[in-house]
Structure 1
Amino acid sequence: MSQPKIDIYTKFGCGYCFRAKQLLDGRNAQYNEFDITMGGAKRDEMLERAPGARTVPQIFIGDTHVGGSDELAALDRDGKLDALLAG
Structure 2
Amino acid sequence: MFDKQRYGRLKWACRRGMLELDVLFMPFAETGFLELSEEKQEAFERLLTFDDPDLYAWFMGHQECKDQEMSDMIEHILSRVKV
TM-score range, shorter chain: 0.3 to 0.5
Q: Which has the bigger relative contact order, CA under 8 A and spacing at least 6?
A: 1
Structure with the bigger percentage of strand: 1
Q: TM-score, normalised by structure 1?
A: 0.37
How high is the TM-score relative to the length of structure 2? 0.39
Higher percent of residues as helix: 2
